[in-house]
Amino acid sequence: GDSVTQMEGPVTLSEEAFLTINCTYTATGYPSLFWYVQYPGEGLQLLLKATKADDKGSNKGFEATYRKETTSFHLEKGSVQVSDSAVYFCALKSGNKLIFGAGTRLAVHP
Amino acid sequence: NAGVTQTPKFQVLKTGQSMTLQCAQDMNHEYMSWYRQDPGMGLRLIHYSVGAGITDQGEVPNGYNVSRSTTEDFPLRLLSAAPSQTSVYFCASRERGSSSGRARSADTQYFGPGTRLTVL
């Protein structure tokens, strides 16, 4: 079945460092791909999405490009802030369902 | 719009007790879902609904019941709580998609703030 694999955390970075969180997927067809973010004590919020190959989703300085050839949707940010500390989930839409990765916790220190 | 609301925020149950987690949305979304979040396992789908009167099982449905009598509400019932059901529960909703180009804009799910449940 369809699945999402993302890098294990936690990821610990200093402020202004470059961030990459890897995400790969297995799916039939061309699913929509998503990154959701969960701040401490809150529900999930959509961070960005891409709906077809080579699309780039972007929001709040984060970017991810839909790579069909490598079945990947890696999340990047050029300069992280302390306020980016959260858990990040990669997900794909499979039929009526949203399939999530296990989540990657990011901790950014001043 | 209030978006997706969930009650209660916290709940402690004893093994064998029953309870209902409430979920409501005011966005007229047809699709609603319940997930549980456990450490290291991401979110797993419990049950979902594609419209009023229609529900289906997700990945981990055992021990839970749902019903969808209105578009707005999608309660999750624990029939006989077990310690394995200790988790954080999230309700989500989204628009109905279609085979047309508008389908992609309906992909976004909106999540409630969650209910933290502990079963002793």
Nearest residue of chain B to residue A4 (CA atoms): B42
Least confident interval from B9-13, B16-20, B103-107: B103-107
State yes or no: pLDDT of B104 exceeds 80: no
| Cβ atoms of B117 and B37 closer than 8 Å | no
All residues of chain B having their beta carbon less than 8 Å from the beta carbon of residue A43 are 4, 90, 111-114
Residue B31: Cβ-neighbour burial (10 angstroms; 0-12, 13-18, 19+)? buried
pLDDT at site B23 = 97
* Three-state SS sequence of B16-38: CCCEEEEEEECCCCCEEEEEEEC
For chain B, what percent of residues have pLDDT higher than 90?
A: 81
pLDDT at A102 over 60: yes
Q: How far away is chain B from the Cα of A81, in angstroms, using its nearest Cα?
A: 24
CB A66 within 8 A of CB A33: yes
Range from A76-80, A96-100, B61-65 carrying the lowest mean pLDDT: A96-100
Per the structure block, which two tokens stand in for B113? 């703030």
- In angstroms, the Cα distances linking B50 to B15, B32, B70, B71 are 31, 7, 12, 10
Of A26-30, A55-59, B110-114, minimum mean pLDDT range: A26-30
pLDDT bucket at B2, cuts 50 / 70 / 90 = confident
Select the more confidently predicted residue: B105 or B85. B85
The answer to whether A21 and A75 are in contact (CB under 8 A) is yes
pLDDT for res B95: 86
pLDDT value, residue A9: 84
Worst-scoring range by mean pLDDT, A10-24, B4-18, B40-54, B100-114? Answer: B100-114
- Average pLDDT (A5-23) is 94
Instruction: Centre a 10 Å sphere on the Cβ of residue B51 and count the other Cβ atoms it contains.
Output: 13
* pLDDT band per the 50, 70, 90 thresholds, residue B100: very low
Burial of B18 (0-12, 13-18, 19+ CB in 10 A): exposed
- Cβ of B58 within 8 Å of Cβ of A97? The answer is yes
Residue A97 confidence (pLDDT): 84
Q: Do B43 and A32 touch (CB under 8 A)?
A: no
CB-based contacts of B102, cutoff 8 Å, min separation 6: none
Of the candidates B50, B51, B87, B80, the one whose C-alpha atom is nearest the C-alpha of residue B65 is B80
Adjacent-strand bridge partners of B64: B78
B17-74 residue pLDDT tens: 999 999 999 999 999 999 999 987 789 999 999 999 999 999 999 999 999 999 999 9
Q: Chain A within 8 Å of B41 (Cβ-Cβ)?
A: yes
